[in-house]
Structure 1
Amino acid sequence: MDLVSFSTGLLSAVFAYALFSQKEEVIEDLEVELEEEDLVINDESTGRHVTMSCQTCRKLKKHKEVTPNLYQCCKCKRHVDLRAK
């Protein structure tokens, strides 16, 4: 019985060490990759999703913001214009 307990404890200690030591390396690798990549972000659309009532679907559906205050239904692609005129 002592050999089983010893081997179980040894295996769980090795597993815990491998789990916690690998996590730090992955975070450092991700930070290096983010610094190396030059990302260009377009500010044309915010990419917000809003739940609104769609006139065509007649239900509450998700709408994607195409331009500021101009939304498009994700299902039927109808545009909803909330811009000031």
Structure 2
Amino acid sequence: MSWVSFISGGMTVILVYAFYSVGSEDNEELIAEEVLGSDVVVNDSTGRYVTLSCQTCRKLKRHREVRPNVFQCTKCKRHVDLSA
């Protein structure tokens, strides 16, 4: 076996592992949730999930309702108050 084949095989395994680990991170949040609309999700009537723009993450992220009109980002745990 040549060193080129050995190193390219190792790099392939590392890349596959990296892609798999990033994809499984998002799937953990979706367990036991039921989609009702385009952006509202109910998780066994314990709260609702809404896709909002998170100011800390600077992306569209899922937020869980902790109190009426107060949402918490599922990734960075920042609270967003929409009662105003």
Q: TM-score, normalised by structure 1?
A: 0.44
Q: Tell me: higher relative CO, structure 1 or 2? Use CA pairs within 8 A at least 6 residues apart.
A: 1
The structure in which a higher percent of residues are helix is: 1
The structure in which a higher percent of residues are strand is: 2
Q: TM-score, normalised by structure 2?
A: 0.45
Q: Which has the larger radius of gyration?
A: 1
